[in-house]
Structure 1
Amino acid sequence: MVLKDFDSAAFLRDYWQKAPLLIRNPWPVWNNPLEPDELAGLACEAEVESRLVVGAQGSWAVEHGPMAETHFARLGKAPSTLLVQAVDHHVPEVAALIEPFRFIPNWRIDDVMVSYATDGGGVGPHYDQYDVFLIQGNGRRRWRVGQLCDDDSPLIPHDDLRLLAEFHATDEWVLEPGDILYVPPRIAHDGVAVGDDCMTYSVGFRAPSRSELLTHFVDDLVAQMQDDDRYSDTDFAIQDNPGEISNIALDRLHRLAIEQLQDRASFTRWFGRFSSTRKYPEIDWSPEDLVSEADIETCLRSAAIVMRNPASRFSFVQEGVMTLLFVDGSTFECVSACKAFAEALCKADRVALPPHPNPDAELVKLMTDLVNQGSIAFDEQVES
């Protein structure tokens, strides 16, 4: 899927993380990929994260899913907004909305949240810490964008919503089906449905904070450390005052604390695992019947198409002649045929494979592992 007359290089130069941009219906043909009833059905599932925001300016009430099937019929006339996270994990047609934005690296992509709002529905003026493309799927929504915010921006007290106490609109548009609004991080914005049956698809991107990186990387390093890896001072000299912490001791302690943080190779492998961990790792996507390497060899002897699980995350790093493939928090070291497949799998959600009369053993093992952890599947079921 390609957007018409959209210059991704110019967008990155002039707008990415700099300024909002309205893109009027750039799709060759726009079709809303999801019906409201289907979205409501997902909100009733226990493994799907959802929220229902009822009310309007000054009086928002929030309910968390899963929702009861009969709940939506009892909402009355108050404006309401249903928000469902990671719909791309469950609906391939929604996952396809990410494809036009693949000029952004895979590791930055979060998910596609879908909202359905009745007339006047919205979640109030707020700002996010991430980039987002807001695609109008059905109906109309009035968007206003405003000031640049930060942690000091005053908020209205609310248990569930981060609502801005002050909102100074600088631009305003009404989006029609197929229109896209890009909003950079920390830019205040507010969307209100104009009429009923308003559906918006939010393609969101991740940006880890410094504290998040440090916390998780340090936790990973500490888990691998031995208890006898301790401070030592075999050349200790008598001090004039035993109460002083000497500069020599501080230098050694500082090195002991940070030297492993400076190991780029360790950071690379940790970040690959960390950034590729699924958004909802508690959900088990593995097949009911696990496959064997013999099953995979049989499939590879004929032409086949391999499909990525939309809930899975794929990325890779070049390390010399090796490609480190990261999938759903796991690391795979790939060379030769395995390397080419790994890079193709990260580039596209479907990979066509020609017949392999003598399948490469490492490729077979990689594909077996990926199928059994639910990260990939063949377009036709592999018989076991």
Structure 2
Amino acid sequence: MASPLTHLGDMPIEVFMRDYWQQKPVLIRNAFPNFEAPISGEELAGMALEEAVESRLVLENGESGPWELRTGPFTEEDFLSLPQTHWTLLVQAVDQWLSEIAELKEYFRFIPDWRLDDVMISYAADKGSVGPHYDHYDVFLLQAEGKRHWQQGPKVDESSPRVEGTPLNILKAFDAENSWVLEPGDMLYLPPQYSHWGIAEGACTTISIGFRAPSAAVILEDLAAEVAMGLPDSLRYTDAGSEPAKCPGEVDPASVARLQQQLGAWLKQPEKIAQWFGAVMTEVKYPDTVALDADDAVDWRDQLPQGVQLILNPASRAAFCREPATLFVDGEAFPAPLNFAERFVNIHKISWSDIETFPQIAGSDGLVDQLVSQGTLIYPPEDF
């Protein structure tokens, strides 16, 4: 298992987190010295033929107009019919299928696991691009093969004009503030909403390590519903001690301030918020990829004593909290011994020694049974 990075190039991680994370872009030359692409463009195209894999093709000059978007799965004929230049293949969640890509995530564990979304890989023909755009998430763009010319512009938002006639959010106007050519091992970090545009110089492969964050709308809607379920009907807006109304028809500032204070008090439930947050941040992105395999239905009680380990499904997500001691897996909360939960989310494995140390997780229909039955715990695939 790889170790988390202590430096990005010559920059200590502490400096990066203090001065750049979610604040401003930074280019890290030779972030991964002597880097070799873990997957070729041809292998990536092979993945895009599979129905279970999310893939897209972007053609700058498509049959239906500029910036045409095509969604997979694709066929070999689809690739053979592509032009020589100006197209890009994007494949999501490659880390769920290849151990070499999954291992890359280990280097970024200076950021909490539950913040990481997935690892997308793009292969671009010469001059291939997905156009000038911005994202709502943090991303590290690691150049894996070939060269890509990156331009970075200012922060933009939903009000920025878009190119019409395409489902892609292509910015109509783009003013570059920085420009770099990245080679294998170089890495560009971009915080949310910074406009950027990457154009291949010859064929190239780029690895995108993206980080998720729920929107304010999702937080307010989901958390409010979660907290509201536990509030009694008798708990209501109150205004004892208020002054006589000067204008009976007015929603006055004092009343608004009083409601804000009461809302804060109603939401002041850290344990409830932790339970909600842990579940939301571990929701699996592709539920169909977390499913019980027939081979995993074999009773693990016969396998673990023989030295076999159960591992976290590469498509699954896990986290824990201390108060109350809870293991979060794939959007579900499970009471669990704190020492076990902390160990499991760190190493993503269960062995017989864990069962001996924490026998309470091994009961009939207990934690391990539940995680095996839902496909969260599996026997290591050959590639992993």
Unmatched 5+ stretches in structure 1: none
Q: Contact 1:301–1:356 at 8 Å: present in 2 too?
A: no
Q: Secondary structure at the match of 2:293?
A: coil
After superposition, the Cα gap between the structure-2 partners of 1:23 and 1:214, relative to the gap in structure 1 and judged at 3 Å, is: same
**Scaled by the length of structure 2, what TM-score is found?**
0.83
1:270 CA drift (Å): 1.6
1:207 CA drift (Å): 1.9
Q: Contact 2:163–2:170 at 8 Å: present in 1 too?
A: yes
Q: 2:216 aligns with which of 197, 204, 210?
A: 210
After superposition, the Cα gap between the structure-2 partners of 1:232 and 1:131, relative to the gap in structure 1 and judged at 3 Å, is: closer
Which residue pairs with 1:173 in the alignment?
180
Within-5 A mapping of 1:185-200:
185-196=192-203, 198-200=204-206
CA offsets per residue over residues 125-176 of structure 1, 9 Å max, x none?
1111111000111111111111122333232224321112222212111111
Q: Could you tell me how far apart the structure 2 residues matched to 1:261 and 1:128 are?
A: 30
Instruction: Find out whether 1:301 has 2:337 as its counterpart.
Output: no
Q: 1:331 aligns with which of 318, 330, 333?
A: 333
Which residue pairs with 2:346 in the alignment?
347
Q: Contact 2:355–2:361 at 8 Å: present in 1 too?
A: no
Letter matched to residue 328 of structure 2: F
Q: Contact 1:231–1:253 at 8 Å: present in 2 too?
A: no
After superposition, the Cα gap between the structure-2 partners of 1:351 and 1:362, relative to the gap in structure 1 and judged at 3 Å, is: closer
Unmatched 5+ stretches in structure 2: none
1:349 CA drift (Å): 3.7
Which residue pairs with 1:160 in the alignment?
167
Letter matched to residue 67 of structure 2: W
Q: Contact 1:304–1:354 at 8 Å: present in 2 too?
A: no
Count residues with an aligned counterpart. Answer: 367
Q: Contact 1:303–1:355 at 8 Å: present in 2 too?
A: no
Q: Could you tell me how far apart the structure 1 residues matched to 2:50 and 2:187 are?
A: 29
Which residue pairs with 1:264 in the alignment?
270
Within-5 A mapping of 1:1-384:
1-2=2-3, 3=5, 5-6=7-8, 7-27=12-32, 29-55=34-60, 59-196=66-203, 198-221=204-227, 260-288=266-294, 291=297, 295-319=299-323, 322-335=324-337, 339-350=338-349, 354=353, 360-363=359-362, 365-379=366-380
Q: Could you tell me how far apart the structure 1 residues matched to 2:187 and 2:266 are?
A: 44
1:220 CA drift (Å): 4.0
Q: Secondary structure at the match of 1:139?
A: strand
Q: Could you tell me how far apart the structure 2 residues matched to 1:380 and 1:71 are?
A: 30
After superposition, the Cα gap between the structure-2 partners of 1:223 and 1:173, relative to the gap in structure 1 and judged at 3 Å, is: same
**Scaled by the length of structure 1, what TM-score is found?**
0.83
Q: Contact 2:124–2:205 at 8 Å: present in 1 too?
A: yes
1:186 CA drift (Å): 1.2
1:290 CA drift (Å): 5.7
Q: Could you tell me how far apart the structure 1 residues matched to 2:22 and 2:284 are?
A: 25
